[in-house]
Chain A
Amino acid sequence: MAAASPDSDCGPAESSEANSKWLDAHYDPMANIHTFSSCLALADLHGDGEYKLVVGDLGPREQQPRLKVLKGPMVLTESPLPALPAAAVTFLMGQHEPRTPALALASGPCVYVYKNLRPYFKFSLPPLPANPLEQDLWNQSKEDRIDPPTLKEMLEGIREKAEVPLSVQSLRFLQLEPSEMEAFVSQHKSKVIKRQTVITTMATLKKNLADEGAVSCLVLGTESKEILVLDPEAFTVLTKMNLPSIPAFLDITGQFDVEFLLAAACRDGNIYVLSKDSKRPKYCIELSAQPVGLVRVHKILVVGSTQDSLHGFTHKGKKLWTVPMPAAILTMNLLEQRSRGLQAVMVGLSNGEVRVYRDKALLNIIRAPDAVTSLCFGRYGREDNTLVMTTKGGGLLIKILKRTAVFVEAGGDAGPPPAQSLKLSVPRKTRLYVDQTLRERESATAMHRTFQTDLYLLRLRTARAYVQALESSLSPVSATAREPLKLHAVVQGLGPTFKLTLHLQNTSAARPIVGLLVCFVYSEALYALPRAFFKLPLLVPGLLYPVETLVEGLSDKGVSDIIKVLVLREGQGAPLLSAHINMPVSEGLAST
């Protein structure tokens, strides 16, 4: 049993050891398995109900790639591979009993098919036409008409210019030291030049039935920008499709004989969608970065990109959503819990997390002790819902989903705010409202005109009143050029005695003002002032002159009035400026 992993309970999606959704069935940090999700497959290879794990192991640097088959935590068989594996899939070849699935492993230019874990068939990609010039050169060297250094020179010329790339044989020759050339030429000169491409990706496609146990075709993506569909029994090429770029990931739904939809994420950063009978891509989804994984969840294509984000697309290329990831995506795969009808996408990140997303909602976070490079979910051994993970350091983790575990969305921040769903109590549309709305719609122009007329009238009246105020010096700011003055009055106190302070300021730049008088105009029945008329001193420009005077309220009936302040010039009748002071109601009535 595995040791407790350092989980921490930080959110609803994360879970501690105690209430985790997963049981730690096995953890071997030294399992020495180095692979990617495309090279993992789970299948009942012997037909005994015990599902095995097939691993196309890339091997650590020096070791040879291997095909491993695991039963439970143990390696059952192991066999060396001639080249690095590109993909491993299991599929049913035929209808006859026993219906055990065959294993297909794509490696280099070949697909190795195993039945019952015994080699059954080897399919090689059809050779591509070689460059005639290249063939000609080798023919000449065969007849000893040119020596190896000349051959090298000529081949290098072809490599640089020609559209058709060189064969592997010529490329190997060009890598050699001059001393080794002679031997190589004599060994290989009689061979016919063959140019072969390699398989980049492989997937399966049901032949003519949609059931679980239906016969499937192999679909290969090659380095020569082609997609090949193979016959499940005869391994002949059924159809060939061309792509504008080299496919890196494939996803296919449908049946070959009926209708199918093939999505290929390519190395040019685009996803091409093809259907049956279309030799060219039907739709193209342009990503802004390189794809690192392609998974179909229900009808949505989920793509992970090198920009650390997950994108959802419809098969017609409409972008549905984008979710940012906290770290770089290393691998992706589908999580399908059949008993609950759940499909989600698992994403292995470089920070050691494995996140489970349904659409853009985060369902679960698994913390692995190391960065996870491959993921596979399905039936393993006798347990449905098993998650197999391998890590960067070659470790193998097996987790089993608890029977009672239910994935719930983390909720909260993802959805709309709760206020949005609150229903406002909008009043009913009354008859009046409807009539008004109709009237507004019909006579909008007339209403606008009336409004404009009134607005202009209002502006005119305001302007007139302003002019009048200026003419009669009713404003607290003097407008005359000779005596620029500003007046500002403050009333203090609660009553019946108030203190009235006038602040006078000469706003001219340099000229002082002399000979000004102040006059208060008020109702003598209500107020009494010690001096209603007095002379002002010389006003120096810029300074603020406070002039204080006491006002005594005479009325005890709680009435107030306006006191007018007039600033006059000696010998002139019209005031320079005036201010109206609204006196407050005396609040000291009760005490008097």
Chain B
Amino acid sequence: MDHLPIRKVYADNAATTAVSEEVLSAMLPFFKEVYGNPSSLYALGQEAKAPLEEARATVAECLGAKPNEIYFTSCGSESDNWAIKGAARAMRKKQGKDHIITSAFEHHAVLHTCQALEKEGFSVTYLPVHADGVVCVEELEAAITDKTALVTIMYANNEIGTIQPIPEIGEICKKHGVLFHTDAVQAVGNLHIDVKAQNIDMLSLSGHKIHAPKGVGALYLRAGVSIENFMDGGAQERGRRAGTENVAEIVGLATAIRRATDTIDERVARLTPMRDKLIEGVLKIPRSRLNGSQKRRLPGNVSFCFQGVEGESLLLLLDMKGISASSGSACTSGSLDPSHVLLSIGLPHEVAHGSLRISFGDYNTMEDVDYILEVLPQIIERLRNMSPLWDAIQMGKVSYDQYM
């Protein structure tokens, strides 16, 4: 494999993306020229205020919301924390409701937030997930009680790319008068989101997944939803999230989301054949599997498992070949357990350890797919050749074929 020239392939767009030229140039004036505080009355401040409100209107329009329903935050995790904790506490205070429904394979920003609320006395139902990576919606309605304050289900899963039945969940929540929050960090720019039509009360998004910088996110909060303030202080963000606005990055976020949502159809049309070619090629590797439904998935997000191979060593060897990807193995998570997402879809630890996520974005090409398909099988073979587990699998001492 050493004869191959190394190609740089960034295939971890679900982790973060590069800031685009368009976003960067939109932001630049706000660092040195239009640096005023938007809360200041003089011209320099008001010069910053106008683009801030334009950005709010842009984000609102991209989601089918009104400008006064958009709150800028520092990241997707902040939006998740604020929406879930803020709304749950307000519901308990006002209506005595203290039950939350979520799913077993949410992002940690949601799961750990729910666990923190359990310590405050809330009860939480973690809905199971089907083997194809879709939340068991049929169990959602049955889980709703007169104590249910809030349902929080992600729009699309970050680790395996599967798309959740959001409009359906929104309808169920509306019918029962339960608040519905969705973490749409991975969905923005890939799926058509309309918070009104889809009955979404709260939605979290992040800038750096769509070519805006790290450090900016937004929360859509439907007008009329009660929520505790996130940060006390000044009157910024309608008095609910104090702190001088990060004008440059907010403008960057608005520029990015405008581009991302205007080009959804082109993106889907371009990335889907790349994704499908990758899936087809990778599944030729013996004893490999695709995690989650093949069809019901984001256009650029794929997750695989390979028997007899451990994910971290796979990533390190890919990196040596210029390919940046990620894994849900225990060794990459810094804990002893492999990804809760892979376990939630019914995989045993032994299989989940050998996972690989490839996520494509606007800067990837079909040549990247070809390069991955050339390099990956050789790396798998190299690791399997030194793997006592692969040895045992081949000798029939253990079998995981039922999961393939």
Q: Do A and B come from one complex?
A: no
B binding-site residues for A, Cβ under 8 Å: none
